[in-house]
Chains A and B, each alone.
Chain A
Amino acid sequence: MAAIALRNLWARRLRTFLTALAVVLGVMMIAGTYVLTDTIDRSFDEIFTESNEGVDAVVSTKEIVEFDDGSLPPFDASLLGAVRKTPGVEEAEGSIADTGVAIIGSDGERVGAGGAPSLAFSAGLERFDPLTYSDGRPPQTDDEVVIDFGTAENEGFEVGDRVELAGRAGTREYTVSGLGKLGNAESLGGATFAVLTLAEAQRITGKEGEFDVINVAAAPGTSPDRLAANLEASLPDNVKAETGEENTEAQKQDINEGIGFLKTALLVFAGVALFVASFLIFNTFSITVAQRTREFAMLRTLGANRRQLIVTVITEAFAIGLLGSALGLLAGIGFSSVLEALFKALEIDLPAAGTVIAGRTVIVSVVLGTSLTVLSALLPALRATRVPPVAGLREGAVLATPRQHRIRAGIGTVLALLGMALMALGLFGALDPGELALGLGAVVVFIGVALLSPWLVPPLAGLVGKPLERLRGTPGRIAHENTVRNPGRTAATAAALMIGLALVSFVAIFAAGLKGSIDEAIDETITADLYLANSDGFSDIPAGAADAVGDVEGVELAAPLRYTQYAKPDGSKGGFLTLLDTAGAADVLELDWRDGGSDELLTEMGPNDAVLDEGFADDKGLATGDTFTVLTASGREIDYTVTGTFKDKTDFIGDYAASDANAAAYGEGDNATNVLVKLGDEVDTDSVRGQVEDTVEEGFPTIEVQNQQELKDSIGKQLNQLLGGVYGLLFLAVIVSLFGIVNTLALSIHERTRELGLLRAVGTSRRQVRRIVRYEAVITALIGAVLGAALGVIFAVLVSRPLADEGFTLTIPFGTLLILLVLAAIAGVLAAIGPARRASRLDVLQALSYE
């Protein structure tokens, strides 16, 4: 029986190929994700391993507040003496490793991709030097710099050129003394680095008299573990010592967590594509089993038992799954570079050195692809066994179309509701982890709606088919009728497209709501005329910019804003807060005060006063007059007295706002997140803005000046970029579902060969035949799109419910949804090209005598 199965596959090569293609696409994405993330992992591993080579122990600041960006405040340089005196230390060197020194390119703008850090290191002893110099030598004077090879390539810098750096202490020009690489990485994932002498590195980063790390080499006979233990014992509490290996591992761990998120996100999209593919596989097998009724009946009369029929169908599925998985795995290796390109387009440059194909990648791809195919074919295989032997003897026997049991509708409804309930439970935190419950709920909803859709198809087909009939006459009429003659088939085909479109429209609706809410928050909260932020959109800017801009004529005040983190007194993770310039904050920010509070709470705020976000206050049971204690990054505890509460719908401020008098304690002495600028009442806005821009460009080239509208636009742009990436990834699922349409059409046309012959005989032109097929595809695609858009709206409403309190207002972007429908229709037209051509080329006579 297995031989029959394989011969069947070969005889129907095209169908086999189209079905396998669905598996290929899903598996491709899984394999591609693994290959890409493994490759990135290894690149970083190499970088970290390389940079700690020759380092037996590392001394760094003990992490008190776990910052989201992983940064640590520096410690006092005097510690170096203590380290050198520690037993077992042969040599120790303090150095700077900073993430805030940008290289200014030839165009006057910072070099590097949006999200990647701008690193700066201090040069030092050769034994600790992690760099490979591709050209030149380390910096020897304070006027020299080594920059990374990638930046030099991109910007055309050579040894001997002058290059400008911008750090916390402003900008300065240096002569390039050499070019370097970290490890073997050609690209640092958009990051740049600059290596300066220790003194200059300390100066430009604003860390004079401080180090970020001390690298230590052990004396002969002292193990790294011993060394680290000795250091730990002799050093004060604010720093920690670990072995070079431990430090490397810790860094890898940090990166793995970051990449882990990316991996999970990509795998989710791959899962969506595979889920869609399983619909396609199920549908293809259902149709082919129905078409082969006579063949199965014949086998039954010849004495094949039911089990043998199942084996035949499952063997076919297994072969298709294996073939598809294998091809998908190969395609995935190539696809990893497509993903990389996609991220590059999103300005997320990822480091890559060589391609890593782990055993896990191969196993997961093949097992998942194959088992999913077999699973999807199981139900159709069971149906094949219900063919009575006598069916083979009857003229034109077809398997009775499975009656649309009420039970099925019931199950569909129950599943759809259950799925939504599951999503709701996940959203409102009743289930943990919520994301999993949400995703699982969505999957259950999709299956429920797919089960229901045979009932939904006729009315929906009428909705889109009727206008088509009116516009396109008989071909439209026949196409419409063709979509409803086997509602289950159309339903499964449309359901595959529905999934992709539901997610696309959900994302579109949600993003529109997010954009609207952010705009509203900016409108309501920020009253400043100008807004200064890092041009990368998230890094800190030098706090000194506030003073410089404040001195510009026509500027009334420039207030720095520091958005940072605190820990709880017991050292556990706390939350976010904003440190304000109490004198000016009320002029540039508008807080929605509760309980009779007013802006005087800001202007008269003492170093130990705090105003709380309503949510935080309620959560902690804090009221005006109460006190609470936080732990800052420097290890200092601060006691605050609550002076008021405000409502901050968008969580712009964080848990509380306090005076920036304590900025240094929070490790933010020299940093600001933003500077909010208020202009004088009767000044020429444009000319003052021009002067502000000049000032910023001169001293702080990493800063971007924006007004309120520009701020909203740039956030919108970032959001759109993210959306573009999400759409790109969902596109694959949509492509898979288009193959579904192609496959279903091809199979249906095959089934209706004689009908097509008849149509041609009575005077249907080839063009009209093509139209009939095309319209059928368009109607099917539109059914999927309408269902998808409806589900997308439902999902968006559901998911935004818990956010409503935080000011999330849902707006349905009807224009976008309409565009989606049009795109779906176009996709239908594209999917129909092949099948329509085939149908129109049928030889009339052969078609008429076809059995």
Chain B
Amino acid sequence: MTGSPIVSARDVTRVFGEGDAAVQALDGVSVDFPEGAFTAIMGPSGSGKSTLMHILAGLDRPTSGTVAIDGVDLSGLDDGELTELRRDKVGFVFQFFNLLPVLSAEENILLPLSLAGRDPDRERFDQLVDAVGLRDRLTHRPAELSGGQQQRVAIARGLISSPAVLFADEPTGNLDTNSSEEILGLMRRAADELGQTIVTVTHDAHVAATADRVLVLVDGRIVQDAEPKSAEGVLDLMKQVA
């Protein structure tokens, strides 16, 4: 299941603000995410888990330390190069506001490719559309889709460019139980069948239990790095931390 690291962080710190008001969000985090692994990052509010994901994804820059995605050191990249890297190597799924309201489901899925000016790989597109079960919803606008359907479109969009890594920020945070199940199943299958590297931030022990690996962050440090057995096991992990 594990291979060479697709994403790696070394001694990453992130300080917000200055002087007395300075807050240390990340405090020397070093971690590798091997190819094909589905990792969940957990932790209480303010633990720095979202900050870590933002930095790993190149959305934010560390105060010190380095991050590399697929062998590319992010610290040397300017905004334009980071944008290109996001377009080519990173997929995103967010909790809210995942889709562009003015585009159809199909256009949303193809957005990263059309922005890059690349022709879509029709085969992959069909494969993804069938995998997320949206064949009959392709011409609909986001407003005409349910929350679960919207999130499925987001996952298909995240995977369309065959990214090195897919980042998900509370992907089920806004969904009912059934829809959550579907989304988790999709992510699991992406990891198993496509060998997709996935990193997700979550509060939900159920999500973490679906992953291959759980990282627990407290006060900007990784305090646990384990393989979850079940949702109960994850909860136990969290309790130990607390």
> By the criterion CB–CB under 8 Å, are B83 and A755 in contact?
no
Of B1-9, B35-43, B108-116, B130-138, the segment with at least 4 beta carbons within 8 Å of chain A is B108-116
Contact count band on B: 20 to 34
Does A477 lie at the interface of the complex (its beta carbon under 8 Å from any beta carbon of B)? yes
* Smallest CB gap from B99: residue in A: A758
> By the criterion CB–CB under 8 Å, are A844 and B59 in contact?
yes
**CB contact list, A603-660 vs B, under 8 A:** none
Does A762 lie at the interface of the complex (its beta carbon under 8 Å from any beta carbon of B)? yes
> By the criterion CB–CB under 8 Å, are A762 and B157 in contact?
yes
> By the criterion CB–CB under 8 Å, are B94 and A763 in contact?
no
User: Shortest Cβ distance from B90 into chain A, in angstroms?
Assistant: 8
Given A482-B102, A762-B111, A764-B115, is A754 in contact with B97 using a C-beta cutoff of 8 Å? Answer: yes
> By the criterion CB–CB under 8 Å, are B115 and A762 in contact?
yes
Given A762-B111, A764-B115, is A485 in contact with B102 using a C-beta cutoff of 8 Å? Answer: yes
> By the criterion CB–CB under 8 Å, are B87 and A763 in contact?
yes
> By the criterion CB–CB under 8 Å, are A763 and B103 in contact?
no
**CB contact list, B29-70 vs A, under 8 A:** 54, 59-60
Contact of A758 among B60, B97, B116 (CB under 8 A): B97
- B-contact 0/1 string along A761-792, CB 8 Å cutoff: 11111101000000000000000000000000
Contact count band on A: 20 to 34
Residues of B within 8 A of A431 (CB): none
* Smallest CB gap from B97: residue in A: A754
Does B179 lie at the interface of the complex (its beta carbon under 8 Å from any beta carbon of A)? no
User: Shortest Cβ distance from A161 into chain B, in angstroms?
Assistant: 70
Does A816 lie at the interface of the complex (its beta carbon under 8 Å from any beta carbon of B)? no
User: Shortest Cβ distance from B165 into chain A, in angstroms?
Assistant: 14
Residues of B within 8 A of A485 (CB): 101-102
Given A761-B59, A761-B92, A766-B79, is A755 in contact with B114 using a C-beta cutoff of 8 Å? Answer: no
* Smallest CB gap from B114: residue in A: A474
Give CA–CA (A768, B117) in the complex, Å.
11
> By the criterion CB–CB under 8 Å, are B97 and A755 in contact?
yes
* Smallest CB gap from B87: residue in A: A763
Contact of B103 among A396, A477, A764, A845 (CB under 8 A): A477
Contact of A477 among B90, B107, B116 (CB under 8 A): B107
* Smallest CB gap from A482: residue in B: B102
Does B86 lie at the interface of the complex (its beta carbon under 8 Å from any beta carbon of A)? yes
> By the criterion CB–CB under 8 Å, are A765 and B97 in contact?
no
Does B80 lie at the interface of the complex (its beta carbon under 8 Å from any beta carbon of A)? yes
* Smallest CB gap from A483: residue in B: B102
Residues of B within 8 A of A758 (CB): 94, 97-100
> By the criterion CB–CB under 8 Å, are B100 and A759 in contact?
yes
* Smallest CB gap from B91: residue in A: A762
**CB contact list, A723-779 vs B, under 8 A:** 754-755, 757-766, 768
> By the criterion CB–CB under 8 Å, are A765 and B59 in contact?
no
> By the criterion CB–CB under 8 Å, are A478 and B100 in contact?
yes
Give CA–CA (A232, B114) in the complex, Å.
92
* Smallest CB gap from B104: residue in A: A481
> By the criterion CB–CB under 8 Å, are B116 and A763 in contact?
yes
Residues of A within 8 A of B94 (CB): 758, 761, 848
Give CA–CA (A482, B102) in the complex, Å.
7
* Smallest CB gap from B51: residue in A: A845
Give CA–CA (A761, B85) in the complex, Å.
10
* Smallest CB gap from B90: residue in A: A763
* Smallest CB gap from A396: residue in B: B96
Does B227 lie at the interface of the complex (its beta carbon under 8 Å from any beta carbon of A)? no
- B-contact 0/1 string along A672-695, CB 8 Å cutoff: 000000000000000000000000
Give CA–CA (A560, B115) in the complex, Å.
75
Given A485-B101, A766-B83, is A474 in contact with B59 using a C-beta cutoff of 8 Å? Answer: no
> By the criterion CB–CB under 8 Å, are B103 and A762 in contact?
no
Give CA–CA (A508, B87) in the complex, Å.
49
- B-contact 0/1 string along A477-501, CB 8 Å cutoff: 1100110010000000000000000
> By the criterion CB–CB under 8 Å, are B98 and A474 in contact?
no
Give CA–CA (A759, B94) in the complex, Å.
12
* Smallest CB gap from B98: residue in A: A758
Does A802 lie at the interface of the complex (its beta carbon under 8 Å from any beta carbon of B)? no
> By the criterion CB–CB under 8 Å, are B59 and A763 in contact?
no
Q: Give the A-B pair count, Cβ closer than 8 A.
A: 69
Does B88 lie at the interface of the complex (its beta carbon under 8 Å from any beta carbon of A)? yes
User: Shortest Cβ distance from A762 into chain B, in angstroms?
Assistant: 5
> By the criterion CB–CB under 8 Å, are B84 and A765 in contact?
yes
Does A537 lie at the interface of the complex (its beta carbon under 8 Å from any beta carbon of B)? no
> By the criterion CB–CB under 8 Å, are B87 and A478 in contact?
no
Contact of A478 among B59, B60, B88, B102 (CB under 8 A): B102
Give CA–CA (A759, B116) in the complex, Å.
12
Given A477-B107, A845-B54, is A763 in contact with B86 using a C-beta cutoff of 8 Å? Answer: yes
Query: Which of B83, B86, B96, B114 has most A Cβ within 10 Å?
Result: B83
Contact of B80 among A478, A757, A762, A765 (CB under 8 A): A765
Does A136 lie at the interface of the complex (its beta carbon under 8 Å from any beta carbon of B)? no
Give CA–CA (A520, B84) in the complex, Å.
63
Contact of A760 among B60, B83, B84, B98 (CB under 8 A): B83
> By the criterion CB–CB under 8 Å, are A764 and B54 in contact?
no
Does A467 lie at the interface of the complex (its beta carbon under 8 Å from any beta carbon of B)? no
* Smallest CB gap from B116: residue in A: A763
Query: Which of A477, A478, A763, A844 has most B Cβ within 10 Å?
Result: A763
User: Shortest Cβ distance from A352 into chain B, in angstroms?
Assistant: 54
> By the criterion CB–CB under 8 Å, are A474 and B111 in contact?
yes
> By the criterion CB–CB under 8 Å, are A848 and B86 in contact?
no
Query: Which of A755, A757, A758, A768 has most B Cβ within 10 Å?
Result: A758
Does A473 lie at the interface of the complex (its beta carbon under 8 Å from any beta carbon of B)? yes
Residues of B within 8 A of A474 (CB): 111, 114-115
User: Shortest Cβ distance from A535 into chain B, in angstroms?
Assistant: 62
Give CA–CA (A188, B49) in the complex, Å.
79
Give CA–CA (A768, B97) in the complex, Å.
20
Given A481-B102, A845-B60, is A762 in contact with B92 using a C-beta cutoff of 8 Å? Answer: yes
Given A758-B94, A845-B59, is A763 in contact with B102 using a C-beta cutoff of 8 Å? Answer: no
Give CA–CA (A754, B90) in the complex, Å.
19
Give CA–CA (A844, B58) in the complex, Å.
10
Residues of B within 8 A of A481 (CB): 102-103
> By the criterion CB–CB under 8 Å, are B83 and A763 in contact?
yes
User: Shortest Cβ distance from A749 into chain B, in angstroms?
Assistant: 14
Residues of A within 8 A of B117 (CB): 473
Give CA–CA (A761, B97) in the complex, Å.
12
Query: Which of A477, A760, A762, A764 has most B Cβ within 10 Å?
Result: A762
Residues of B within 8 A of A768 (CB): 115
User: Shortest Cβ distance from B73 into chain A, in angstroms?
Assistant: 19
> By the criterion CB–CB under 8 Å, are A755 and B101 in contact?
yes
> By the criterion CB–CB under 8 Å, are B115 and A763 in contact?
yes
Residues of B within 8 A of A482 (CB): 102
Query: Which of B87, B92, B98, B111 has most A Cβ within 10 Å?
Result: B111
Query: Which of B54, B86, B97 has most A Cβ within 10 Å?
Result: B97
Give CA–CA (A481, B103) in the complex, Å.
8
User: Shortest Cβ distance from A400 into chain B, in angstroms?
Assistant: 13
* Smallest CB gap from A753: residue in B: B97
> By the criterion CB–CB under 8 Å, are A761 and B86 in contact?
yes
Residues of B within 8 A of A845 (CB): 54, 59-60
User: Shortest Cβ distance from B114 into chain A, in angstroms?
Assistant: 4
> By the criterion CB–CB under 8 Å, are B86 and A762 in contact?
yes
Q: Can you pick out 9 interface pairs between chain A and chain B where the beta carbons lie within 8 Å of each other?
A: A473-B117, A475-B115, A477-B114, A754-B97, A758-B99, A763-B87, A764-B115, A845-B59, A845-B60
Beyond the given A482-B102, A762-B112, could you list 4 further A-B residue pairs with CB under 8 A, ordered by the A residue number? A762-B87, A763-B84, A763-B87, A763-B116
Residue positions of A touching B, CB distance < 8 A: 396, 473-475, 477-478, 481-482, 485, 754-755, 757-766, 768, 844-845, 848
Residue positions of B touching A, CB distance < 8 A: 54, 59-60, 79-80, 83-84, 86-88, 90, 92, 94, 96-103, 107, 111-112, 114-117, 157
